[in-house]
Amino acid sequence: MKKIYGIDKTQLRLTKLAQNAYNIIDPILIIENQDTDGNVTGYNLTGCLHGKGMTAEAVNEALEAELVFKIKPEHLEAFGPDTDEDTELDIYEVRDIARGWDMPVEDVLSMLMIEGI
Protein backbone atom coordinates (compact mmCIF):
# COMPACT_ATOMS: atom_id res chain seq x y z
CA MET A 1 0.00 0.00 0.00
CA LYS A 2 1.21 3.51 -0.77
CA LYS A 3 0.30 6.65 1.13
CA ILE A 4 1.23 10.21 0.31
CA TYR A 5 2.57 12.45 3.08
CA GLY A 6 0.42 15.55 3.53
CA ILE A 7 -2.59 13.92 1.89
CA ASP A 8 -2.99 10.56 3.59
CA LYS A 9 -2.43 9.67 7.22
CA THR A 10 1.13 8.35 7.33
CA GLN A 11 3.51 7.20 10.05
CA LEU A 12 6.18 9.68 8.95
CA ARG A 13 7.08 12.34 11.52
CA LEU A 14 9.16 15.18 10.13
CA THR A 15 11.41 17.27 12.33
CA LYS A 16 10.57 20.96 12.56
CA LEU A 17 13.37 21.80 10.12
CA ALA A 18 12.40 19.03 7.72
CA GLN A 19 8.79 20.25 7.80
CA ASN A 20 10.00 23.78 6.99
CA ALA A 21 11.90 22.41 3.99
CA TYR A 22 8.92 20.31 2.90
CA ASN A 23 6.73 23.42 2.99
CA ILE A 24 9.20 25.35 0.79
CA ILE A 25 10.21 22.68 -1.74
CA ASP A 26 7.93 22.53 -4.75
CA PRO A 27 7.29 20.07 -6.21
CA ILE A 28 7.94 17.29 -3.73
CA LEU A 29 6.10 14.09 -3.01
CA ILE A 30 6.86 11.75 -0.13
CA ILE A 31 5.38 8.31 -0.64
CA GLU A 32 5.14 5.94 2.31
CA ASN A 33 5.31 2.28 1.27
CA GLN A 34 3.62 -0.25 3.55
CA ASP A 35 3.35 -4.01 3.50
CA THR A 36 -0.01 -5.77 3.78
CA ASP A 37 0.18 -5.58 7.60
CA GLY A 38 0.59 -1.79 7.56
CA ASN A 39 4.30 -1.85 8.44
CA VAL A 40 6.36 0.85 6.75
CA THR A 41 8.85 -0.63 4.31
CA GLY A 42 10.37 2.66 3.20
CA TYR A 43 9.80 6.10 1.77
CA ASN A 44 10.24 7.38 -1.76
CA LEU A 45 10.90 11.02 -2.63
CA THR A 46 10.01 12.43 -6.02
CA GLY A 47 9.99 15.93 -7.45
CA CYS A 48 12.87 18.24 -6.54
CA LEU A 49 14.39 15.49 -4.37
CA HIS A 50 14.74 11.85 -5.26
CA GLY A 51 15.14 8.79 -3.09
CA LYS A 52 13.84 5.26 -2.93
CA GLY A 53 13.39 2.92 0.02
CA MET A 54 14.53 5.57 2.50
CA THR A 55 14.09 5.42 6.25
CA ALA A 56 12.20 8.17 8.07
CA GLU A 57 15.54 9.43 9.40
CA ALA A 58 16.97 9.60 5.87
CA VAL A 59 13.91 11.55 4.66
CA ASN A 60 14.34 14.07 7.50
CA GLU A 61 18.07 14.37 6.77
CA ALA A 62 17.50 14.87 3.02
CA LEU A 63 14.94 17.60 3.65
CA GLU A 64 17.03 19.38 6.29
CA ALA A 65 20.05 19.30 3.97
CA GLU A 66 18.17 21.50 1.49
CA LEU A 67 17.79 24.43 3.90
CA VAL A 68 20.00 27.52 3.71
CA PHE A 69 20.47 29.65 6.82
CA LYS A 70 21.65 33.22 7.30
CA ILE A 71 22.88 34.78 10.50
CA LYS A 72 20.54 37.24 12.19
CA PRO A 73 22.23 40.67 12.23
CA GLU A 74 22.27 40.85 16.02
CA HIS A 75 24.35 37.65 16.16
CA LEU A 76 26.97 38.36 13.49
CA GLU A 77 29.70 39.07 16.05
CA ALA A 78 29.31 35.63 17.63
CA PHE A 79 30.14 33.96 14.32
CA GLY A 80 33.45 35.75 13.92
CA PRO A 81 35.08 38.35 11.69
CA ASP A 82 34.80 36.27 8.49
CA THR A 83 31.00 36.42 8.51
CA ASP A 84 28.64 39.09 7.28
CA GLU A 85 24.96 39.51 6.47
CA ASP A 86 25.43 37.47 3.27
CA THR A 87 27.03 34.45 4.94
CA GLU A 88 25.09 31.29 4.21
CA LEU A 89 25.23 28.11 6.27
CA ASP A 90 23.84 24.65 5.71
CA ILE A 91 22.62 22.27 8.40
CA TYR A 92 25.97 20.47 8.53
CA GLU A 93 27.81 23.71 9.25
CA VAL A 94 25.23 24.61 11.89
CA ARG A 95 25.77 21.23 13.59
CA ASP A 96 29.56 21.69 13.45
CA ILE A 97 29.25 25.13 15.04
CA ALA A 98 27.03 23.75 17.79
CA ARG A 99 29.58 21.02 18.55
CA GLY A 100 32.42 23.53 18.53
CA TRP A 101 30.55 25.86 20.84
CA ASP A 102 29.37 22.94 23.00
CA MET A 103 25.74 23.99 22.78
CA PRO A 104 22.53 22.45 21.45
CA VAL A 105 21.85 22.83 17.74
CA GLU A 106 18.55 24.52 18.62
CA ASP A 107 20.45 27.32 20.38
CA VAL A 108 22.54 27.98 17.28
CA LEU A 109 19.42 27.82 15.11
CA SER A 110 17.85 30.55 17.26
CA MET A 111 20.63 32.87 15.99
CA LEU A 112 19.80 32.09 12.38
CA MET A 113 16.96 32.54 9.94
CA ILE A 114 15.98 30.21 7.18
CA GLU A 115 16.93 31.93 3.96
CA GLY A 116 15.36 29.34 1.70
CA ILE A 117 16.38 26.42 -0.41
Residue 117 scores a pLDDT above 90: no
Q: Do both 32 and 50 map to the same domain?
A: yes
Which of 64, 71, 29, 69 has the alpha carbon at shortest distance from 49?
29
Domain that holds residue 57: 2-64
Q: Do both 12 and 60 map to the same domain?
A: yes
User: What is residue 51's predicted lDDT score, i.e. its pLDDT?
Assistant: 98
**Angle CA(101)–CA(59)–CA(97) in degrees, nearest 5?**
10
In the chain, the amino acid numbered 24 is: I
Instruction: Read off the pLDDT of residues 15-72 as tens digits, 9 standing for 90 and up.
Output: 999 999 999 999 999 999 999 999 999 999 999 999 999 999 999 999 999 999 999 9
Q: Do both 14 and 60 map to the same domain?
A: yes
Q: Do both 54 and 72 map to the same domain?
A: no
Q: Do both 43 and 73 map to the same domain?
A: no
